[in-house]
Structure formats: structure tokens, C-alpha cells
């Protein structure tokens, strides 16, 4: 690297509007000077999922506020920005467009380069931002909108080993919470109930474990849970706290088993490449789940693989990861111009077949 770089990043692909400033000084670790996130959950709460049109309008209203807050937090002005990085996909088209248009305006107005970033690359490169992890590493991206295994070899070099063919695990947690009358987002509520439950009372399916690949399926779990819930209600005319806890424990145990077994398979493929210091990194909101984390740590320990998870605020959607992924692209010479398009679908690994399904949070890459 020949110069210090200060990058402004924008993120608006789903239901978080975010702006961040990341600085890379010569020979030093990258630094997050500001990371501002304005969530929209209140706007969508009544609808049971993200409403794309509402999301896009809210992004358009909030983006410049986020940029102002990021500049104020880092004590900088727009003149200090060397390049603008923006999520150009995948995600909800209206939201992505809001971000791309805002970034184009800033880039043209300031006369600085524009760099389009794949949202998934932002997640996948986060361990390099937080811990300077060396390539290649294995990433499990597991959130409300994504679930995939990636070998990360470079800023633009990803191999997708497999992923969900329908729902993402976060969606399954959220739907389970809804079916049991627990609070949204469902992950933390289901986890808390599961800790008080008996995981052996209900046995839920572990889909696709009979297939040798790294693909997963979570949509059948909610149907199984619904049937089990209805059977209890039919028998006892209602659900007790213990019934809820046992249902949550059984559900979570199924998710943990599937993720652990598929992680084992993904690690085997990754380890075939003989990385010198093998590492599994997780990102995404579901990575907050303590049972999932504990099991993944066990799998890694058995195989002598280091396990790492970025802090939760950088695991979930944010713009620091976009600024950082933009920075890595910028350093490889990548530049975009006013033709940069918003791409609702944008697979990281062009060689891998397209994933099926599209969850509440929009199209999966």
C-alpha cells in the first residue's frame, strides 16, 4: 500500500441503513473510525417481515443522516474521504438502489472513486477487518437472510461449498418464535427458552444430512414444529411454559446438529487445500447463538482448526464491513463509475450454481 486511505462505506440492502468510515494507515491494522447503523425493525414490525417499498423509502431518508453522523463521530469532513464504497447487491432492489444512488452522488460531488461491494463479501471479509485473519479461511455466514459456507481466498476470490436451499436459520428461529408466541427477533427468545427445555422430548428432522454435500434446508423444521405444537395443544388445550421451552430446545438442537455436521463436511473440503493455519470464522446474527457457537468450537477443536467470531455488532449488517471490503477492492485497483448497477442477486462465487429460495430478507445470493 502506498498511501493512507480513508473510505466511507454505505449499506442499505435490507432493513438497516448504515454508514461507516474505515481508515487504513500504512503498515497498520485497519481502524473503524465510525460505524452508524439505523435499524428499521419498528417500521416493519406490524407486517411480519421486511416490506421492500417501506425499506427503500426509509433508506433514502436516512442515508445522508448516517453519513453526517459518521463524519461527526470521526471528526472528519467529506474532504477527508478518499473513496466511497457501497453495497451494490445482493438484497432488496429498492434499498440497494438508494445506497448506490447516494454513493454515486457523493463520488461525483467529491471527485473521489466509487467502489461497488458485494454485501456477502462484506460479511466474509470482516474477520480480516477485526483480526487481520490471513487467507484462505472458511467462513460460515449464518443470519436471517443468509446461510452459506465460503472458502475465502482473496477480496474477490470465494468458493461457495454449499448453503441453504430454502430458509436461512435466522428465519427459522423467527418463525418458531412467532408460532410459540415469543418475542421478535426470535433468535434470542428461542435460545433463552431452549436453555430451560428438554431437547429430547421432541425429535425434529435433521434435513439433508443423508446428502454428502454442504447444502442445508430449514423450511421443513417449522412445519414439524407447527405439528408438534398443535399436537400438544390438541392434547392439553394449550401450551405451558415447559412445553414452549421443550419445543424450543428440540428445535435448536436440530439446527445445531445440522450446522455442526455440515461444518464438519465444509472443513474437510477446506482442509484438503492444506491451509497453513486453518481457521473457521462465523458471521451473521445467528452466530450470536451460544449453543451453535459452543458446538462449532467443539468441531473446530477436534480438527485443530482455530475458531473465530467477530464482535456481534460487526457480525450483523453494518457499513464498516462494506467500507473495509471496498478498501480491499480499492487496493487491488478496482474502480466503478456511474454505470454501477444495483444487483438484487449477485453470487460471490460465479462458478457455483444459483441457490434456490428467497427468504423474508430478500433474495439469497
- Chain residues binding ligand KG4 by CB under 6 A are 14, 143-145, 170, 173-174, 185-188, 191, 284-286, 288-289, 316-317, 361
Nearer to ligand KG4, 275 or 357 (CB): 357
Residue 339 beta carbon to ligand KG4: minimum distance, rounded to whole angstroms: 28
Q: Are strands 157-163 and 279-283 parallel, antiparallel or unpaired?
A: unpaired
Q: Taking the complex as a whole, how short is the minimal distance between the CB of residue 57 and ligand KG4, in angstroms?
A: 19
Partner touching 185 among ligand KG4, Zn ion, none, CB below 5 to 8 Å by kind? ligand KG4
Kindly state the DSSP code that residue 164 receives in the 8-state scheme. Answer: B
244 in helix, strand or coil?
helix
Minimum Å gap between C-beta 188 and ligand KG4 is 5
Taking the least distance from each CB to ligand KG4, the nearer of 35 and 316 is 316
Identify the sign of the CA torsion 228, 230, 231, 233.
positive
- In the complex with ligand KG4, the residue whose CB is nearer, 159 or 289, is 289
CB contact at 8 A, 267 and 305:
yes
The residue with its CB nearest to ligand KG4 is: 187
Decide whether 16 or 215 has the Cβ nearer to ligand KG4.
16
Residue 13: which of ligand KG4, Zn ion, none does it interact with, CB under 5 to 8 A by kind?
A: none
Which partner, ligand KG4, Zn ion, none, binds residue 288 by CB below 5 to 8 Å per kind? ligand KG4
* Residues 6+ positions from 265 with CB-CB distance below 8 Å: 161, 162, 212, 213, 214
**Least CB distance from residue 252 to ligand KG4, whole Å?**
8
Q: Using N-to-C axis directions, what is the helix angle for 241-271 and 219-236, rounded to 10°?
A: 160
Residue 162's binding partner out of ligand KG4, Zn ion, none, with CB under 5 to 8 Å set by partner kind: none
Residues 105-127 as b or e (16 or more Cβ within 10 Å = b): ebbeebebbbbbbbbbbbbbbbb
Nearest to 336 by CA among 135, 107, 126: 107
What does 191 interact with, of ligand KG4, Zn ion, none (CB < 5 to 8 A by kind)?
ligand KG4
173: partner contacted, choices ligand KG4, Zn ion, none (Cβ within 5-8 A by kind)? ligand KG4
User: Where in 278-317 is the site for Zn ion (CB under 5 A)?
Assistant: 317
Residue located via cell numbers 448453503: 163
Report the C-alpha gap between 184 and 47 in whole angstroms.
12
What whole-number distance in Å separates Cα of residue 254 and Cα of residue 259? 9
Run of H or E including 279? strand 279-283
- Select 246 or 317, whichever has its Cβ closest to Zn ion: 317
Rounded to a whole number of angstroms, the minimum distance from the CB of residue 303 to Zn ion is 27
Nearest residue (CB) to ligand KG4, 114 versus 189: 189
- Rounded to whole angstroms, how far apart are CA atoms 231 and 166? 25
Decide which of Zn ion, ligand KG4, none touches 188; Cβ closer than 5 to 8 Å per partner kind: ligand KG4
Q: Which helix (H) or strand (E) holds 267?
A: helix 241-271
The residue whose Cβ lies closest to Zn ion is 317
- Minimum Å distance from CB 185 to ligand KG4? 4
Nearer Cβ to Zn ion (141/247)? 141
Q: Which of 88, 76, 78, 79 is nearest to 32 (CA)?
A: 76
Give the residues lining the site for Zn ion (CB under 5 A): 317
Amino acid at each position: 500500500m502506498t498511501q493512507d486511505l480513508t473510505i466511507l462505506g454505505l449499506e442499505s440492502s435490507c432493513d438497516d441503513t448504515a454508514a461507516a468510515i474505515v481508515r487504513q494507515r500504512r503498515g497498520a491494522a485497519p481502524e473503524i473510525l465510525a460505524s452508524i447503523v439505523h435499524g428499521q425493525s419498528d417500521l416493519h414490525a406490524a407486517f411480519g417481515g421486511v416490506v421492500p417499498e417501506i425499506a427503500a423509502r426509509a433508506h433514502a431518508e436516512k442515508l445522508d443522516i448516517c453519513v453526517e453522523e459518521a463524519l461527526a463521530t470521526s471528526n472528519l469532513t467529506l474532504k477527508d474521504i478518499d473513496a466511497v464504497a457501497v453495497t451494490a447487491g445482493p438484497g432488496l432492489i429498492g434499498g440497494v438502489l438508494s445506497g448506490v444512488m447516494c454513493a454515486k452522488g457523493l463520488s461525483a460531488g467529491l471527485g473521489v472513486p466509487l467502489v461497488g461491494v458485494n454485501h456477502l463479501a462484506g460479511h466474509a471479509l470482516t474477520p480480516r477487518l477485526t483480526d487481520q485473519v490471513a487467507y484462505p479461511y472458511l467462513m460460515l455466514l449464518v443470519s436471517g437472510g443468509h446461510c452459506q459456507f465460503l472458502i475465502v481466498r482473496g477480496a474477490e476470490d470465494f468458493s461457495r461449498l454449499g448453503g441453504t436451499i430454502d430458509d436461512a436459520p435466522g428465519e427459522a428461529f423467527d418463525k418458531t418464535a412467532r408460532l410459540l408466541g415469543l418475542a421478535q427477533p426470535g433468535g434470542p427468545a428461542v435460545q433463552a427458552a431452549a436453555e430451560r427445555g428438554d431437547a429430547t422430548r421432541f425429535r425434529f428432522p435433521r434435513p439433508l444430512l443423508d446428502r454428502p454435500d454442504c447444502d442445508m434446508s430449514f423450511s421443513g423444521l417449522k412445519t414439524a414444529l407447527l405439528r408438534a405444537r398443535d399436537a400438544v395443544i390438541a392434547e392439553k388445550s394449550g401450551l405451558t411454559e415447559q412445553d414452549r421451552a421443550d419445543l424450543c430446545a428440540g428445535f435448536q438442537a436440530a439446527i445445531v446438529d445440522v450446522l455442526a455436521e455440515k461444518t464438519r463436511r465444509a472443513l474437510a473440503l477446506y482442509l484438503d487445500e492444506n491451509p497453513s493455519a486453518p481457521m473457521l470464522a462465523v458471521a451473521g446474527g445467528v452466530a450470536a447463538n451460544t449453543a451453535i457457537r459452543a458446538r462449532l468450537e467443539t468441531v473446530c477443536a477436534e480438527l485443530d482448526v482455530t475458531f473465530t467470531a467477530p464482535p456481534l455488532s460487526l457480525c450483523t449488517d453494518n457499513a464498516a464491513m462494506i467500507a473495509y471490503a471496498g478498501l480491499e477492492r480499492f487496493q487491488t485497483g478496482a474502480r466503478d463509475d456511474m454505470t454501477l448497477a444495483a444487483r438484487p442477486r449477485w453470487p460471490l462465487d460465479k462458478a457455483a450454481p444459483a441457490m434456490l429460495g428467497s427468504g423474508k430478507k430478500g433474495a439469497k445470493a
